[in-house]
Structure 1
Amino acid sequence: MKYKSLPARACAGAILLFISLTGFSQTDTTKTDTTYWKKDLRTGLSFNQASFSDNWQGGGVNSIGLNTFFNYKANYQKDIHSWDNEIDMAYGIIKNEGQSSRKSVDRIYLDTKYGRKLSSKWDFFTSLSFLSQFDKGYEYDVEDPDTGEVYDKLISNFMSPAFITSSWGVEYHPVSYFKVRFGPFSPRVTIVSDEDVAVNGEVEGEPARYGVPVGDKTRFEWLAFQMVADFNKDIANNLNLKWKYILFANYEELEFRKVDHRLDVSITAKVNKFIDVGLGGIMIYDYDQVDEVQISQALNLGVVYKFKNYSDKK
């Protein structure tokens, strides 16, 4: 299709603009422009591999995997005004012997938030966030109930789904390592641009497409509530715990089972200046995808590059 590459170019352009706006490259060194920015970059590459001899009796399969991630934060604070920005991207693949390459992680998350101080612990905020993925995702070895044919079913793709949320409300930040946003007005648009994408099961008699009706590419939820809680702290020497919890509730479908939940957790141990070992997990409950809890987990050892233009307060 002639417009198939447009979303990828648009996303790349948006990310480059996002970085340039937050001052990733400091071309202006005057104090008034740079003093109030706090920048934090983490990027890395991890590799995992397993192999077994032909006479190995314990069972197992040869495999090789590669993961990469990029996380950049640029936060501005001056007087009563703040502007916080984050880019969080990750992609990984794994190849098991006898199988095609498969994804192990795939995420694009962009978030920008303006805040105006109300007190020492409370801010008014307005934010805009984007969540999607880079590549196609499949459910493997699906059997067609009519023909008995086994095939790989396309269940996700770039911009399929994508979630764009604008949230307005107040933020509570009692300590430097924890904050929580309460957004009583948080309209969201869900996008499914690939017409071939359909997840398992049915929702109210129609194939589940992340809540987007068959024949449409978007679904707007104008009246909604969103809560976002962030925790990021060194809980021991060279040991960091980080988690983010997102709750989204549509006022028009305010049933407990239709409230969306997403929890991302990671614990990272620093081996030396450039090597980290990390354990991470994601838990998702989204009725528009499947009426069950989804869980993923990964353990990685890899090379990490870090940059900060400030020091954390002890």
Structure 2
Amino acid sequence: MRKLLLLTVFSVSCLITWGQDAGVKDMKSQSDKTLVNDTSHHSGWKKGGLFTLNVGQGGSKNWAAGAEKFSFTTAAYLSVYANKKAGKFYWNNNLDLGYAMVNTTSQGVRKTDDKIDLYSKAGYELSKSLSVAGVVNFRSQFTDGFDYDYRGKGYKRRISGFFAPAYLVVAPGLDWHPTDYFSVFLSPISARWVFVTNEPKSYYYPAGDPGPDGGGFEAPLSTFYGVDPAREVKVEAGAYASINFNKEILRNVSFKSRLDLYSNYLKTYRFTPTGPDQLQITEVSAKPQNVDVFWTNAIVMKVNKYLNVTYNFDLIYDDDVRQFGPNENAAGVQLRSLLAVGFSAKF
């Protein structure tokens, strides 16, 4: 009787396993989807995305070596795409959104990442690896950013925000795409707009600088980005290049990178505060050799279906963003990185 019972249980287990096999394979194929272009996409729309949510918490009590009593970090990222193909015509759209914050006992809540990045490219194939194409790129951020040690006195001054600044590039050119995961777009002449339309002045002292103790006259926020506060928009014309890479470089490890280069052919201006809400404007000749750089990278390491390790690294250099150096009036390389573990979902 015991042998018959064991044989029955074994048979039922085999049937259940066989019946679930197709469902398990389907779930696995869905979880293995990536944002990398699919060579099977020949016509129509192809859409998808990746959402990640990462959190971290730390604390201490009576810690002799010194540590924050409490800290909490959270970061959310969304990357979605919608690509269309119709014969030799293609239209690729990618939207990257990111926001991250840290809350500590000593400093309160501060953001550590904030980005809106829309990249759209449409082209018509001249050959298998070369197309005539056009790119539209928009970049900005969601919320205000602050200098938490303004003038070295611990003052908090707004230095950025939504549409403060925002960048819009419109570029016609040639797109070289030797593989489905790598492309180089070149435009010898393109237009770029820099917007600071959201409170372009943002003075710490709205009624005017109180005097020498205040550290001198204040510069409007827009001048940090080379924009006249009276106009709120700066127009540039120059050469533009965009290099894109998006591939699973190792099993369960995907690397996505975009490098944008911009060389402005036009003259620019420098702004020096000379009094309360007064500026001296100096014309600067064109320097196309001072190339602006925007480089964004994301590495996603999949632990299982819902758990990912992500690393984001951004580098920016803009010759007109002059708020660095000992006198806070020089251009500089901007760096930002974030390593996190958390929940992820692909769709």
**TM-score of the two chains, using structure 2 as the length reference:** 0.72
**Cα displacement (A) at 1:257:** 6.2
Secondary structure, in 3 states, of the residue corresponding to 2:83?
A: strand
Aligned to 1:225: 239
CA distance in 1, matches of 2:183, 2:48: 17
Moved more, 238-247 or 253-262: 253-262
- Offset at residue 51 of structure 1 (A): 1.2
How many angstroms apart in 2 are the aligned matches of 1:49 and 1:189? 40
Aligned residue among 83, 99, 113 for 2:107: 99
* 8 A Cα contact 1:280 1:297, kept in partner: yes
Structure-2 residue corresponding to 1:299: 339
RMSD after superposition: 2.4
Measure, in 2, the Cα distance between the counterparts of 1:164 and 1:207. 16
Q: Report 1:138-287 matches (<5 A).
A: 138-143=146-151, 149-193=153-197, 194-197=199-202, 208-221=223-236, 223-253=237-267, 255=287, 258-287=290-319
CA–CA distance in 2 between the matches of 1:43 and 1:188? Answer: 30
The answer to which of 108-117 and 252-261 deviates more is: 252-261
How big is the shift at 1:71?
Answer: 0.9
Going from structure 1 to structure 2, the CA distance change for 1:293 and 1:129 (only over 3 Å counts) comes to same
Secondary structure of 1:229's counterpart equals strand
C-alpha deviations, 1:5-28, integer Å up to 9, x for none? xxxxxxxxxxxxxxxxxxxxxxxx
Secondary structure, aligned partner of 1:111: strand
Q: Residue by residue, what CA displacement relative to the aligned partner does 1:114-173 show, whole Å, maximum 9, x if unpaired?
A: 1110111011111222100000001112237xxxx5311211010000011101000111
Instruction: Give the conservation status (yes or no) of the 8 Å contact 1:192–1:209.
Output: no
Once the two structures are TM-superposed, the CA of residue 74 in structure 1 deviates from its matched residue by 0.7
Alpha-carbon spacing, 1:207–1:93, altered in 2? closer, same or farther (3 Å): closer
Map 1:122-141; keep pairs closer than 5 Å: 122-141=130-149
Offset of 1:243 from its aligned partner? 1.1
CA distance 1:264–1:168, shift in 2 (3 Å)? same
Counterpart in the other structure of 2:73: 65
Q: Quick one: distance in 2 between partners of 1:123 and 1:166? A: 17
Aligned partners of 2:156 and 2:262: how far apart in 1? 31
Q: Which amino acid aligns with 1:217?
A: E
Partner of 1:45: 53
Look up the equivalent residue of 1:273 and give its one-letter code.
K
Whichever of the two has the greater Rg, that structure is 2
CA displacement 1:263-293 (0-9 Å, x = unmatched): 1122221010011001111111111113111
C-alpha separation between the residues in 2 aligned to 1:270 and 1:82?
30
Runs of at least 5 residues in structure 1 that lack an aligned partner in the other structure: 1-33, 308-314
Q: TM-score, normalised by structure 1?
A: 0.79
CA contact (8 A) 2:317 2:333 kept: yes
The whole-number CA distance in structure 2 between the counterparts of 1:271 and 1:136 is 34
CA distance, structure 2, for counterparts of residue 197 and residue 177 of structure 1: 43
| CA distance in 2: counterparts of 1:237 and 1:225, whole angstroms | 37
Q: CA 1:150 to 1:257, structure 2 compared with 1: closer, same or farther past 3 Å?
A: farther
Alignment check: 8 A CA contact 1:235 1:241 kept: yes
Letter in 2 for 1:267: I
User: How many equivalent residue pairs?
Assistant: 265
For residue 111 of structure 1, report the CA deviation from its aligned partner.
Answer: 2.1
Moved more, 57-66 or 112-121: 57-66
CA distance in 2, matches of 1:197, 1:286: 21
Q: State the one-letter code of the partner of 1:295.
A: L
Q: How far apart are residue 251 of structure 1 and its match?
A: 1.4
Q: Could you tell me whether the CA contact under 8 Å between 2:56 and 2:72 is conserved in 1?
A: yes
Aligned-partner Cα distance in 2 for 1:197–1:125: 39
Secondary structure of 1:186's aligned partner: strand
